[in-house]
Amino acid sequence: MQGFKVISTIDEIELKKFPISAQTVLVGDLFERVHGATTWTACTAASLNYSRKFIAYEAATSSDTEVLGYEVRGNERVEAQSSQVGSATNDGDSMLLTDKNTVNNLGADTSEESCFIQDGVGLTYSGTTTTYSIFGRIAVSASGIDPAAS
């Protein structure tokens, strides 16, 4: 399991094309659109919990101008790749992202960059490298506008 994957939602999963620029995309990558931007960019550790987000459902190269994805509404149960083995003691904690495909599940973070809320411990995947997962929700805002902005 790499990146982010919707496990369940109360809405129908509607896929659409999102505008990107000079981005290499893998299935499961998480993108955000900052208020006022015309294209979506890969999430990072500095991504904001109130920005709109989508999960890529197809790969794209840096020459592609759009990619198929699912815009997250915040009510979905999501499996996310995590940087370390999950712990049930972190259930309910807000967490930072490491990058576009991993949650930095090192415990609670209360900053506006905490974009994932853990609801459960996921699986360990063994392959060429060992990866871990956790379950939870991606933090988003319908407007993508900083609620603290004046």
DSSP 9-62: -SS---EEEEEBSS--B-TT-EEEE-TT-SSBEE--TT--TTSEEEEESS-B-T
How large is the C-alpha radius of gyration of the chain? 15
The answer to whether the beta carbons of residues 132 and 85 sit under 8 Å apart is yes
Residue 142 has pLDDT above 80, yes or no: no
Tens digit of each residue's pLDDT (9 = 90 or more) over 82-133? 988 888 999 999 999 999 999 998 877 778 899 999 999 987 777 767 789 9
Domain-embedded: residue 53: yes
- Rounded to whole angstroms, how far apart are CA atoms 122 and 109? 20
54 shares a domain with 85: no
Q: How far is CA 150 from the centre of its chain?
A: 27
Domain-embedded: residue 148: no
* Per-residue confidence band for 41, with pLDDT thresholds at 50, 70 and 90: very high
The answer to whether the beta carbons of residues 91 and 120 sit under 8 Å apart is yes
Tokens for 14?
């509607």
Tens digit of each residue's pLDDT (9 = 90 or more) over 57-89? 999 999 999 999 999 998 899 999 998 888 899
- Per-residue pLDDT, averaged over 18-41, amounts to 94
Residue 136 backbone dihedrals phi, psi, to 5 degrees: 170, -150
- Per-residue pLDDT, averaged over 18-34, amounts to 95
Q: Is the pTM of this model over 0.75?
A: yes
93 shares a domain with 56: no
Our count of domains for the chain comes to 2
**Domain span including residue 43:** 9-71
- Per-residue pLDDT, averaged over 31-54, amounts to 93
Closest CA to 135 of 86, 93, 79, 96: 79
Domain-embedded: residue 118: yes
